[in-house]
A and B are shown apart, each in its own frame.
Chain A
Amino acid sequence: MSSVLYDVPGPKARRISLIGSVVGGLAILGLLAWIIFTLGQQGIFEGRRWQIFTRADVWRLLGNGLGATLSAAGLAAVIAFPLGLLLCLLRISDLKAIRIPTRVVLEFLRGMPVVLMMLFILLGFGTSQFIAVVAGLVVYNAAVFAEIIRAGIQSLPKGQREAGLAIGLTSFKSRMLIELPQAVRRMMPSLVAQLVVLLKDTSLGYIVAYGELLRAVQLMADVLGPAFLFPVFFVAAAMYIAINIAISRLAVWIERRGSKKAAGGTAKADPVAVEAAAP
Chain B
Amino acid sequence: MKAFMTRRKSLLVAATAALALSLSACGDGGSTAGSDPTVAEKPTFAAGTTMEKLASAGSIKIGTKFDQPLFGQVGLDGKPVGFDVEMGKLIAAKLGIAADKIEWSETVSANREPFIEQGKVDLVIATYTINDKRKQVVSFAGPYYEAGQALMVNKDNDSIKTPEDVKGKKVCSVTGSTPAATIVDKYGAELVPAATYSACLEPLRNKQVEAITTDNVILAGFVDKEPDAFKLASDETFTKEPYGIGLKKDDTEFRGWINDQLEEFGKDGSYKKAWEATAGSVIKTAPELPEINRY
Contacts and interface: CB of A to CB of B under 8 A. Distances in A.
Contacts of A59: 16, 19-20, 23
A56 interface: yes
Interface of A: 54-64, 66-67, 70-71, 73-74, 77-78, 119, 122-123, 126, 128-129, 195, 206-209, 211, 218-226, 229, 243, 246, 250
B23 A223 contact: no
A54 B26 contact: yes
Contact of A70 (B1, B9, B29): B9
Interface stretch (B65-73, B142-150, B265-273, B276-284): B65-73
Contacts of B75: 223
Contacts of B132: none
**4 nearest A-B residue pairs (beta carbon):** A63-B16, A126-B118, A56-B20, A57-B76
A67 B29 CA distance: 21
A68 to B, nearest CB: 11
A211 B9 contact: no
A57 B77 contact: yes
Contacts, number: 118
B198 A222 contact: yes
A56 B29 CA distance: 9
Contact of A123 (B28, B77, B110, B225): B110
B107 interface: yes
A55 B5 contact: no
B225 A225 contact: yes
Contact of A211 (B16, B106, B110): B106
B78 A56 contact: no
Contacts of B20: 56-57, 59-60, 63
A250 B110 CA distance: 39
Contacts of A54: 23, 26
Interface string B70-113: 00011111100000000000000000000000000011101100
Contacts of A243: 8
- What DSSP secondary structure best describes chain A's contact surface? helix
Contact of B111 (A61, A70, A123): A123
Interface string B115-131: 00110100000000000
B107 A209 contact: yes
Contacts of A223: 30, 73-76
A226 B108 contact: no
Interface in B27-75: 27-30, 66-67, 69, 73-75
Nearest to B111: A122
Contact of B27 (A56, A67, A206, A219): A56
B136 to A, nearest CB: 16
B2 interface: yes
B27 A57 contact: yes
B9 A71 contact: yes
A228 B204 CA distance: 17
Contacts of B9: 66-67, 70-71, 74
A219 B67 contact: yes
Contacts of B108: 208-209
Contacts of A211: 106
Nearest to B222: A226
Given A67-B9, A70-B5, A206-B195, A60 B67 contact: no
Contacts of B67: 218-219, 222
A243 B199 CA distance: 26
A222 B45 CA distance: 41
B282 to A, nearest CB: 14
Contacts of B118: 126
B69 A123 contact: no
Contacts of A74: 2, 5-6, 9
A209 B78 contact: no
Q: Which of A56, A67, A128 has the most CB of B within 10 A?
A: A56
